[in-house]
Every structure is written in C-alpha cells, then in structure tokens.
Amino acid sequence: MNAEVDFFFEKAQNWQNEFKQLRSIVSDCGLSEELKWGKPCYTYKSKNILLIHGFKTYCALLFHKGALLKDEENLLIQQTENVQAARQIRFTSNAEIVQLTSSIKAYIYEAIEVEKAGLHVALKKTTEYTVPDELQKILEENHDFKTAFEALTPGRQRGYLLHFSQAKQSKTRLARIEKCMPKIFEGKGYNDR
C-alpha cells in the first residue's frame, strides 16, 4: 500500500468501509498502488490495470481494459455507450464485496494477464463518429472554423462530437456548437479550461 494514496481513503465521505475492503482485495493481487486522477490506481509494470472510485449510489472497480475481459459472471458494466475500453464492477454494500471477493480477484488476475499479453482495445477512429448535420453545415460554410476543428487532436474532436450529438433537438445542438466555437478556435478541448 502506498502512503500517498491513504488520503483518498481517509477523506472519503461515502463508501469508506467498501473502499477499505476493495483496497485490501486489490492489495492481495500483487499490483502497485498509485494516485492517478485523484483516485487509487493499480498498475502492473507501470501499466494501468484498475482503479477504485465512488459515486452517489455505488462504488466501483474500473478496469481500464475491461472490454477485453471474458466477464463469465456478467459483472462488468459499460458506464455509457461511448466508453470503449473501460468496464466497472459496481457495489452498493460491503457485504456484496465480501461475497464477491474470489470473483473480484479472478477478474483482477485476468486483467493482469490481458496486460501481460499486450492486448489493446480496438478503439473507434474519430472518422467513425457521427457528425451532426448542424456541425457539418457550419464546417462547410466556415472555412476558418473547419481548419480550427480539424487542427484539434482526435480526442478533442471526439469530445466535441459526443457533446454535440448528445443533444436531442437541433436547436440545442446548434447552441452547443456556437457556445464551443471560441474554445475550438483556441485549440482547446471541450473539457479544457
């Protein structure tokens, strides 16, 4: 266990017992414990295997390459349809974690084997994402904006495409595009400040 990670567990307002139990289970699996993205992250030879995190209604183990796990017990959950590689095992009680301890370890060991084998999730290319009609029209009409959008990294382009596409109404998509235009011209991603 890494003392730098202790503060995460000490400051947690919810799920303290569950986090302790998960930390104990993961610690038995021979992974290194680090603090990444403000969360306890467990690595094998500096490669991310999983992390522990919590939400209002559940806490979870997030497997970075969970899409490659066999999931024979049907425990893995894809957070949203846009999450390509990661999968979670969610918990709502300490008793549930204790009951699933051997299964959790089996998933962890399988995730380590996936990493040892050098497997990678085949991610969708940016060109495979749907470009909303409203964005396509603006790209066709505004050469400077098209140049700025195409200069963004593929990840930033995907972030905007997802953000724009999630709106159900055309006027909302258009409003989102117009609101984001200054950031796009600055070369910033949707979540950049």
The CATH architecture annotation of domain 3-116 reads: Alpha-Beta Complex (3.90)
pLDDT-above-90 percentage for the chain = 79
Residue range 98-112, pLDDT digits in tens: 999 999 999 999 999
Name the residue with higher pLDDT: 193 or 16: 16
Residue 76 CA to residue 162 CA, distance in Å, equals 23
DSSP three-state, residue 62: strand
Residue range 124-160, pLDDT digits in tens: 888 888 899 999 999 999 999 999 999 999 889 999 9
Cβ contacts of 85-89, under 8 Å, gap ≥ 24: 85/121, 85/123, 86/62, 87/62, 87/63, 88/60, 88/61, 88/62, 88/63, 89/60, 89/61, 89/63
The contacts of residue 146 (CB under 8 Å, 6+ apart) are 139, 140
- Res. 94 pLDDT band, cuts 50 70 90: very high
In this prediction, residues 84-108 reach a mean pLDDT of: 96
Maximal C-alpha separation, the chain? 59
Hunting for tokens 């997030």 — which residue is that? 62
For residue 54, what are its two tokens?
């919590």
Question: CB–CB of 69/87 below 8 Å?
Answer: yes
Helix, strand, coil percentages (3-state) for the chain, rounded to 5, are 50, 15, 35
Residue 12's pLDDT is 83
For residue 180, what are its two tokens?
């984001």
DSSP single-letter state for residue 77: B
Residue 84's pLDDT is 87
Question: CB–CB of 32/44 below 8 Å?
Answer: yes
Residue range 56-77, pLDDT digits in tens: 999 999 999 999 999 999 999 9
pTM: 0.76
Q: Where are the domains of the chain?
A: 3-116, 126-185
